[in-house]
């Protein structure tokens, strides 16, 4: 009887291990574990044994029955989890909607500008946000202690450069990349340089310490002010529509000569005067000028042979105009209610 018990145990475990379909589990249960199954039948024979043997075999039979029942329960649980009720797919249910990401409005405007300028043959360049005093100011014709440094409230950084000097700062403009690009690529050169800039501003709805600019530069032979004017006209028309007009007013930037502010007719009222342009009809958009000979020299380019033009847009301002955004601080707020609108 003990042998028979062992055989039942082995047969059961072997068959259980092979089962992959929950329907066969039930058959196995009936064959071995039910009231008319092999185990019960065997235990029915216990009564014919001697008292001692009855005790011994009875205990063994009970422990085998317990073991097989436990193994059976485990297997049936595993199979049901795998392919049973819990895993039914209702194909008629609507799918779970995947959240789509949103591009920041700054990125949208940046992409648009990059498209315009790559179509004009410009390459897109990048530069370091942690910049040296040399590239951010000195190479751009702003000598140390020159009063023009006061035009930009600068975050100086408490870090030594690789020569052990404290001359690092968070770049206040994308213009330093002008000189880096000249040094790297020489002339002629056409480049658009979008990037993040930093100034120690007291923030309000129109001022932010962290903001974006796009710098443009074009260097070649005989580039002159007339080229700058027609170039800025084209850019304005591509950005704001074909009827956009440009007006240029003198403005001092140390790294251009002559320097000017480019203003476009307001895209909303076409120059008639409205809320967006504060009733002037014009929007002040771009700083520009012919690249100063000192800056060309700093970039290793001979100003007797080459000349160039440069201009800089504030991307935040462009995006604010385009999408009617009334507070510049929203761009960096991480506020989903703001971002999800774009
Ligand atoms: N870098 C200037 C600024 O931040 C803008 C500018 C760029 C002006 C290029 C002229 C030429 O104000």
- Chosen domain end from 34, 55, 84: 84
- Å from CA of 116 to ligand 1 middle: 19
Instruction: Say what the pLDDT of residue 110 is.
Output: 96
Pairing of strands 189-198, 307-314: unpaired
Q: What is the pLDDT of residues 259-311, one digit of tens each?
A: 999 999 998 888 899 888 889 999 999 999 999 999 999 999 999 999 999 99
- pLDDT-above-70 percentage for the chain: 98
- Å from CA of 323 to ligand 1 middle: 23
What residues make up the domain containing 22? 2-84
Round to whole Å and give the CA distance between 97 and 133: 50
- Ligand 1 atom 12 nearest Cα: 287
| Domain presence at residue 268 | yes
- If asked whether residues 33 and 159 sit together in one domain, one would say no
| Domain presence at residue 94 | no
Round to whole Å and give the CA distance between 181 and 123: 11
**Both structure tokens of 85:** 């009720």
| Domain presence at residue 141 | yes
| Domain presence at residue 122 | yes
| Domain presence at residue 98 | no
pLDDT of 26 higher than 70: yes
- Ligand 1 atom 7 nearest Cα: 312
| Domain presence at residue 43 | yes
Round to whole Å and give the CA distance between 86 and 231: 66
- If asked whether residues 17 and 166 sit together in one domain, one would say no
The set of protein residues with a Cβ atom below 6 angstroms from ligand 1 is: 173, 175, 215, 253, 256, 259, 287-289, 310-312
Indicate the number of domains in the chain.
2
Q: Is the dihedral of CA 172, 174, 175, 181 positive or negative?
A: positive
C-alpha distances (whole Å) from 301 to each of 143, 150, 195, 289 are 19, 28, 24, 17
- Å from CA of 119 to ligand 1 middle: 23
| Domain presence at residue 93 | no
- If asked whether residues 185 and 254 sit together in one domain, one would say yes
| Domain presence at residue 91 | no
Instruction: Say what the pLDDT of residue 140 is.
Output: 97
- Å from CA of 224 to ligand 1 middle: 18
Q: What is the pLDDT of residues 47-101, one digit of tens each?
A: 888 888 888 888 888 888 888 888 888 887 777 766 555 567 888 888 888 888 8
Q: What is the pTM of this model?
A: 0.71
- Å from CA of 312 to ligand 1 middle: 5
pLDDT averaged over every residue in the chain: 90
The segment with the largest mean pLDDT, out of 34-43, 99-108, 281-290, is 281-290
- Ligand 1 atom 8 nearest Cα: 287
């Amino acid at each position: 009887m003990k042998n028979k018990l062992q055989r039942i145990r082995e047969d059961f475990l072997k068959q259980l291990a092979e089962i992959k379909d929950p329907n066969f589990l039930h058959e196995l249960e009936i064959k071995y574990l039910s009231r008319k199954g092999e185990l019960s039948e065997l235990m029915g024979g216990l009564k014919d044994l001697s008292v001692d043997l009855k005790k011994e075999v009875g205990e063994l039979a009970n422990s085998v029955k317990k073991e097989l029942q436990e193994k059976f329960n485990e297997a049936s649980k595993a199979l049901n989890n795998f392919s049973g009720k819990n895993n039914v797919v209702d194909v008629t249910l609507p799918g779970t909607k995947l959240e789509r990401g949103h591009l920041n409005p700054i990125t949208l405007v940046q992409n648009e500008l990059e498209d315009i300028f790559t179509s004009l043959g410009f390459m897109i360049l990048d530069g370091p946000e942690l910049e040296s005093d040399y590239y951010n100011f000195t190479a751009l014709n702003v000598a140390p202690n020159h009063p023009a440094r006061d035009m930009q409230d600068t975050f100086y950084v408490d870090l030594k450069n690789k020569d052990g000097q404290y001359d690092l700062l968070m770049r206040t403009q994308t213009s330093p990349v002008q000189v880096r690009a000249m040094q790297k690529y020489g002339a002629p050169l056409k480049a658009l340089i979008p990037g993040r800039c930093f100034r120690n501003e007291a923030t309000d709805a129109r001022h932010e310490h962290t903001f974006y600019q796009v710098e443009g530069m074009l260097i070649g032979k005989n580039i002159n002010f007339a080229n700058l004017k027609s170039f800025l006209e084209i850019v304005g028309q591509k950005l704001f529509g074909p009827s956009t007009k440009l007006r240029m007013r003198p403005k001092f930037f140390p790294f251009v000569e002559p320097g000017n502010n480019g203003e476009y007719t307001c895209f909303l009222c076409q120059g008639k005067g409205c809320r967006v342009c504060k009733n002037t009809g014009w929007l002040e958009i771009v700083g520009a000028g012919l690249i100063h000979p000192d800056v060309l020299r700093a970039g290793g380019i001979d100003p007797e042979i080459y000349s160039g033009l440069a201009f800089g847009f504030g991307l935040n301002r462009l995006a604010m105009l385009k999408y009617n955004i009334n507070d510049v601080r929203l761009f960096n707020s991480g506020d989903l209610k703001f971002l999800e609108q774009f």
